Structure 1
Amino acid sequence: MAPKITKTSLILGFGLLLSTGVNVAQDNVVQETVRLEIELLSSSGHLHFRGIEVASGNLLVEIYENRRFRPAWTDLDQVDELLTAIETTAADGLDPADYHLEQVRTGYRQLLAGDVTTAIARAELDVLFTDSLIRLVYHQRFGKLNPYTLDPQWNFRRDLDGVSAAAAIQSMIDADSLLYRLQSLFPRGRFYEQLRQSLARYREIEANGGWPEFPEGPTLKPGMVDNRVPVLARRLAVTGDLDTDAVAAADTTYTEIIEAGVRRFQKRHGIDVDGVIGPTTARVLNVPVSRRVRQLEINLERARWVFDDITDNFIIVNIAGFTAYVVRDREVVWQTRVQVGSTYHQSPVFRDEMKYLVLNPTWTVPYSIATKEILPQIQSEPDYFAKRDFDVKDRNGKLVDPESIEWSELSRRNFPYTLVQRPGPNNALGRVKFMFPNEHAVYLHDTPSKSLFGRAERAFSHGCIRVEHPFEFAEILLGADGWTQDRFQEVLDSGEIKTVFLSKPMPVMLLYWTAQVDPGGDVHFYQDIYERDQRIEDGLDSEFVMDLPESGD
């Protein structure tokens, strides 16, 4: 059994090194001291110094073993770049303290001043800097939180592109510019960068005192005269929804110019765009800037979870924003309103690949919907089947005449049938469905419930995503293969159930973001309909825990 290593034995070991008659170079002494530190970490699982606990455990051990315990931080410029990277993490909604900001800053200053004179001090700083780098790399690449702990069905990739974690960190240490390599780890692309810029802007608004509170009062409509109008104009101007010239000209009349600013504000905040300041708009106007800053930080964390796992071309559905996007060459080329799962039937967050479309689809009713929702309607409406296009099948898949069934004797526990809705304009899936087979049985589809797209909040489905303009979407996906609106219509008119495969499967990501930036650069904030923000906020505020993704080796 190996002897137990303690901090005391480490110090004694260092003293033995200095007391030998051999002329040991200082760097060799530091190397041996690093070895003792790492052996202490390996044997006990803990390492404390300079007021911190080293948290990267086995990975730190592997890195130094691969280096044969040679110090990693022998270049002060390298340490300076590490410090700069730590200081700028706040711009991404991360906490610099998680990366030992004060300890790294103090150590850097001591090294500059030549005040680090002992091997123990140099070894501790070396290990400290490496632990800081590991923390930084993983948070920049994957986020502070492990999304799997929030959602066990999470299936986005979370690894290091086929290299071991130790090799990835070593490549950072060996880079000509550590800062450049670190910055390149952040999710790149417009979605992330515009969120980051919005965070900076809203923090600036917060630093300047935020925005004025819109006073309570009766509903305010365009054309009315009200003493609150100048306050409304100033409030809109702070967030860029109204030009500052309009503020200077504002009196107590609610003008068309101010109405346009209100409509822009309403659109950006996912509320009914009517220009009327009712209770909902008044409440949203008075959400404090600190809350908006926090929303941006939360959604930057969400972005770090997924933007390591995207290609140049993909489909995104923002569940909280009730919008779907088609992205090509990382630019949004098309978008549409969607309806998503209700709070009781929440749409899941996951990634898959769209493979085909079905025109004139049938709808096989899930057992839970058939027994909980449709069966009571059948039992209360004698002519239910005469009004709707349903077939009834037994357990062998054979058609059964619904008039031959004693529906009153059936229940949720006794329902030996399958309901299948025939193709047609009244089909629950509409005239087309977009398939990316998955364990959730969730997909995108048309809907006969078109009127619901006029609502600002559109959480109505059983989990699937209903698309407002499905055949525009279909043409975006299949246009290169010769599919036009006329060709789609021919198939619809024929009544034929037709499956059409995409020439190349296209990644689909169902995400849940309560803040995002639209293609025009305007930041949007959405209601947290599924109440998922708080757990991320709590996680961002929690103590640091190293939760390493799988290595690719």
Structure 2
Amino acid sequence: MKKYPDLKDCALKRIPAGVRSFICLLIILSIITASPANSKASNGRELSEEIEKQLNSGHLWLTFPASTKKFYQQRKFDANWITTDTEAKQTWQAMLMLDCVLQFGLSYEDYHYNDHLPSMLHDILEAPDKVSLSRQARFEIMLTDDMITFINQLHYGVLNPQFSSANIDTASAAVVRAEAVLKNAMKEDKFMRAIADVQPRSKEYESLQEYLSSAVQYLDNCYELPRGELRHVAMNMERLRWAGITDKNFLMVNIPSYVLKYYHQDSIYRFKVIVGTPKDPTPSLQSELKYFITAPDRKLPARIFIEDVVPNAIRDHAYLENNHYTIYDRQGRYVNPDHDKLMEIKQKPSVYFARQSSGCDNAFGAVVFRFPNVYAISIHDTPEKQLFEKEERAFSQSSIRVEQPAQLAALLLEHDHAKGSVAAMQKAIAAYKNKRFNLNRAVPVKVVYLTCESEGGKLTTYKDIYNLDKSLELAMFDLERPLSKM
């Protein structure tokens, strides 16, 4: 007598909402454990041949076709989920996890539920002769594709701007390979924990997921799309997946909250920031901070040079000197900015640029923290200290201005085992001395756009200053994302 759950007449979706939600919550917390499932197929070689045939047919609509095929190629196309000589606990747990994707902030629309119903698995295990070989193979393949989809969505998100589904599926250099995660998870006693471990490891993500999980269990039907507040939480969990946070030590700027958090081990240091205006928004990005500079000079962005500096210099002959600006041509040669030359520059501004020398009026202030990015933005000091007193602080031209930059610089040096350099840094700032301080270990930089955060079970929402929520909501919940046909 087989000792697997008898779900023929009570599939998880038919269980009363409260009981079903409680089961889902247990899954999220990885409480349920199981022993590895045996990989021997119920119909042996015939089933393996049918799996191979279907994968090679080009007739299956899969989300991650290359990854799914690779998973079975490594098994010589043997079945993974259908087994006769174990309790198939891994299979049931996989299906339970997929049945509760809402509690991970994901959507049921991305999965092939009708191809691996619990009642079908019951029939395959109880009376395999009544289920065609073709249908068994399809059950196998679709459940694998869904688990690979689930793993990728947990790690990369659904709409990651840097990693499309096609890119994740075919790129061998992807950090997380879902088919490998699934293969290893099948060997683990704690199958569900092994799958869930691919999620971001940040306090922000964990707090939002806990909030979502605890809220969903009180819904009458956890199989509907999340609405209102819960949809808002799911969207911001998605953004945190894009950030790719894997380290305990990193800098994170949340644009809508106007806060920079420096995480080091178990400590969090908070700093107020000023971010870009809606006209000049600060972009979300990932990078690494390897050095900072005291008393920096500043190369002006081309748009500021063309739209602000040149017109002001033409109107006021003292403007360049008063603001410590110097103009150069593209070969780096100094340009004498008399009126005639300025009019010539106005006609062809793209072949010139300006730098602002260090000093108390420099827009970068006393310190600039530079990190590579295509937007050419940085985190830096500012002479406009009064702006930090305002509640809403979207005033900059893309870059990020930070309050108390010397304190942040000192923390970075101390945690980089360079505490002896703190005094030299403070002296360089006081003397407006241009000096570079290199870090022995690069610190990841994550600039994110979170319009809500959870702390202590309380949800805090922020103003959507760049009006990005609506487009993400439509993309995540209302627009159909086509699958890839093999």
Shorter-chain TM-score tier: 0.7 to 0.9
How far has the Cα of 1:64 moved from its partner? Answer: 2.4
Give the partner amino acid of 2:209: R
Counterpart position of 2:367: 432
Counterpart position of 1:61: 69
Of 339, 352, 362, which residue of structure 1 is paired with 2:287? Answer: 352
Q: 2:483 & 2:404 partners in 1: Cα distance?
A: 44
1:345 is paired with a residue of what secondary structure? coil
* Aligned partners of 1:471 and 1:485 also within 8 Å: no
Counterpart position of 2:5: none
Give the partner amino acid of 2:250: F
| 1:412-455 superposed Cα distances (whole Å, 9 cap, x missing partner) | 52465432222111111111101113332111100112222222
Give the partner amino acid of 1:393: Y
Counterpart position of 2:468: 532
Counterpart position of 1:248: none
* Aligned partners of 1:429 and 1:446 also within 8 Å: yes
Q: 1:327 & 1:547 partners in 2: Cα distance?
A: 39
Q: 1:436 & 1:497 partners in 2: Cα distance?
A: 18
Q: Higher relative contact order at CA 8 Å, sep ≥6: structure 1 or structure 2? A: 2
TM-aligned CA distance change 1:166 to 1:202, over 3 Å = closer
Of 404, 408, 431, which residue of structure 2 is paired with 1:494? Answer: 431
How far has the Cα of 1:465 moved from its partner? Answer: 0.8
Of 92, 100, 106, which residue of structure 2 is paired with 1:88? Answer: 100
Q: Does 1:122 find its partner at 2:139?
A: no
More off after superposition, 501-510 vs 415-424: 415-424
How far has the Cα of 1:85 moved from its partner? Answer: 1.2
Q: 2:230 & 2:419 partners in 1: Cα distance?
A: 46
Query: Aligned pairs, how many?
Result: 428
Of 303, 311, 314, which residue of structure 1 is paired with 2:250? Answer: 314
TM-aligned CA distance change 1:186 to 1:547, over 3 Å = farther
Give the partner amino acid of 1:77: K
Alignment of 1:36-51 (within 5 A): 36-43=50-57, 45-47=58-60
Over aligned residue pairs, what C-alpha RMSD do you find? 3.3
How far has the Cα of 1:336 moved from its partner? Answer: 0.9
TM-aligned CA distance change 1:97 to 1:79, over 3 Å = farther
Q: Does 1:368 find its partner at 2:368?
A: no
Q: Does 1:387 find its partner at 2:322?
A: yes
| 1:372-420 superposed Cα distances (whole Å, 9 cap, x missing partner) | 1111112222332353222333454344444575434541524654322
Alignment of 1:391-430 (within 5 A): 391-403=326-338, 406-411=341-346, 413-414=348-349, 417-430=352-365
TM-aligned CA distance change 1:412 to 1:344, over 3 Å = farther
Counterpart position of 1:508: 445
TM-score, reference length from structure 2:
0.78
| 1:131-171 superposed Cα distances (whole Å, 9 cap, x missing partner) | 23222222222222232379xxxxxx996547x65444322
Counterpart position of 2:91: 79
Structure 2 gaps of 5+ residues are 1-39, 165-170
2:186 is paired with a residue of what secondary structure? helix
Counterpart position of 2:403: 468
How far has the Cα of 1:105 moved from its partner? Answer: 2.3
Give the partner amino acid of 2:427: E
Of 295, 299, 302, which residue of structure 1 is paired with 2:236? Answer: 299
Q: 2:295 & 2:112 partners in 1: Cα distance?
A: 59
Query: Which of these two proteins has the greater Rg computed from alpha carbons?
Result: 1
Counterpart position of 1:193: 206
Q: 2:191 & 2:50 partners in 1: Cα distance?
A: 27
| 1:278-299 superposed Cα distances (whole Å, 9 cap, x missing partner) | xxxxxxxxxxx94322111101
Q: 1:203 & 1:396 partners in 2: Cα distance?
A: 61
Give the partner amino acid of 1:503: N
TM-aligned CA distance change 1:451 to 1:463, over 3 Å = same
2:392 is paired with a residue of what secondary structure? coil
Give the partner amino acid of 2:438: F
Give the partner amino acid of 1:475: A
How far has the Cα of 1:106 moved from its partner? Answer: 2.4
Counterpart position of 2:12: none
Q: Does 1:106 find its partner at 2:119?
A: yes
Counterpart position of 1:445: 380
Q: 2:347 & 2:460 partners in 1: Cα distance?
A: 43
| 1:290-321 superposed Cα distances (whole Å, 9 cap, x missing partner) | 432211110111222334x5212111111222
How far has the Cα of 1:473 moved from its partner? Answer: 0.8
2:162 is paired with a residue of what secondary structure? helix
